Amino acid sequence: MTAAELLARLPIPIIQAPMLGASGVDMAVAVSEAGGMGALAAGGLAPEDIVQQSAEIRRRTTAPFSVNLLVVRPASPDSETVAAAMERLRPWRERLNLEPPPTPDSFAPDFDDQFAALVRAAPPVASFAFDLISGPQVAALQAVGTLVVGTATTVAEARAWAALGVDAICAQGGEAGGHRGEFLKPGPGSLIGTMALVSSLRAVIDLPVIAAGGIMDGRGVAAALALGADAAQMGTAFLLSDEATISAAWRGRIQTAGDDATVVTRAFTGRNARGIENAFIRDMRPVEDEAPAYPVQNRLTRELRAAAARAGESELLSLWAGQGVSLARAGAAGDLVSRWWDEARAASREVHARTHGRDDLRR
Ligand SMILES: Cc1cc2nc3c(=O)[nH]c(=O)nc-3n(C[C@H](O)[C@H](O)[C@H](O)COP(=O)(O)O)c2cc1C
């Protein structure tokens, strides 16, 4: 089956965004069972857990789902870099009464091991963010029947994925919550809005496009489809769902977030990501460019963030969320998907009436 066929056959063309630290097996199953397509965020998982959790999703639903990996190269920073980064975090550790941790042995799960597990798991769809994989890796997944989706934040990144023979592109607009998929030109140049990005991709790339970023309800889903996307991917919109695995402090900040609450920062992880602004982001702003690149800073702030979550200290937590955060709604993920689809159909009828209703006015 091609990606275009798979997406066209989904009863509801809504894809749950993989959200490391915020979504798990339950959300993936709920969304796929509701007629959308759920996703397992496997970027932080050990290889055996990728195989086991994919198998669990398969046991609980016969509908398609995807598994997402973050393409992270091995990091071996020098000791001065690590010491300087740890020193910048010292006041925050002190605030939480945390001892300085020993220098980590490794900074991220080994990507090649994760990839081998993904091929063994052979999910219907695999998606990747942060960087390209290789042509042979794309072919290895396709050989086991897995469709491959590459995340792009610019047309150039989408072209790079297309050249590898992937099956579809996830177009991640600047509105999106969480980490940016950007890999060619990180920074403001990769913060293209979803509307401009999807339209630009449609004009030049002959692959199915999944629109992501700022889609918070059925009107957003209808808009994505009107732009020519084959499906709408939603992340922040699921953060208040029953199945979201976020801490109480994070949930509370989403419930009270205003419509201009989010910023892009690299302070927490060494990679640009969008989240609700808090004291950590503000105070680290003057030095955030000095933070070592992902995954080093991500690993070095891990204990800090875990302790902040336990203490309910939302000013120190990474509160990943997209620009539409104030529109997030509570409910069971499956019910949200059904409701958004009803809304999308109503919105498209409304647009039809507003466009066709004008026929009489034309001279
Ligand atoms: C909390 C959170 C975690 C995320 N984790 C991942 C991830 O593990 N892998 C990934 O490819 N994208 C991740 N993203 C980005 C989403 O895939 C998607 O691009 C984004 O949620 C779409 O924008 P929206 O949040 O406005 O819906 C994450 C987003 C959020 C909000």
Query: Does some domain include residue 239?
Result: yes
Instruction: Order across the sheet with 209-212: list the strands.
Output: 14-16, 231-234, 209-212, 168-172, 147-152, 125-129, 65-70, 38-41
CA of 352 to the centre of ligand 1 (A): 31
Q: Which long-range contacts (C-beta less than 8 Å, at least 24 apart) are formed by 147-152?
A: 147/1, 147/2, 147/3, 147/6, 149/3, 149/66, 149/125, 149/210, 151/127, 151/181, 151/212, 152/181, 152/201
Q: pLDDT per position in the chain (363 positions), as tens?
A: 999 999 999 999 999 999 999 999 999 999 999 999 999 999 999 999 999 999 999 999 999 999 999 999 999 999 999 999 999 999 999 999 998 888 888 999 999 999 999 999 999 999 999 999 999 999 999 999 999 999 999 999 999 999 999 999 999 999 999 999 999 988 888 899 999 999 999 999 999 999 999 999 999 999 999 999 999 999 999 999 999 999 999 999 999 999 999 999 999 999 999 999 999 999 999 999 999 999 999 999 999 999 999 999 999 999 999 999 999 999 999 999 999 999 999 999 999 999 998 877 766
Total count of domains within the chain: 2
Cα 192 to Cα 178: distance, rounded to the nearest angstrom: 15
Query: Does some domain include residue 267?
Result: yes
- Return the CATH number at 7: 3.20.20.70
Backbone φ, ψ for residue 73 (5° rounding)? -80, 150
- In residues, how long is the chain? 363
Domain that holds residue 299: 75-107+262-320
Ligand 1 atom 30, closest CA: 178
- Residue ranges with strand state E in 224-339: 231-234, 262-265, 273-276
Nearest atom (ligand 1) to Cα of 234: 27
In the chain, the N- to C-terminal Cα span, in Å, equals 47
Query: Does some domain include residue 255?
Result: no
CA of 18 to the centre of ligand 1 (A): 6
Is 0.95 topped by the overall pTM?
A: yes
Ligand 1 atom 13, closest CA: 19
Please tell me the predicted confidence (pLDDT) of residue 68: 98
Q: Give residue for tokens 């900040």.
A: 253
Q: Are residues 274 and 333 in the same domain?
A: no
CA of 178 to the centre of ligand 1 (A): 5
Give residues (CB < 6 A) around ligand 1. Answer: 17-20, 22, 41, 43, 68, 70, 129, 151, 172, 175-179, 212-215, 233-237, 320-322, 324
Q: Give residue for tokens 């963010």.
A: 129
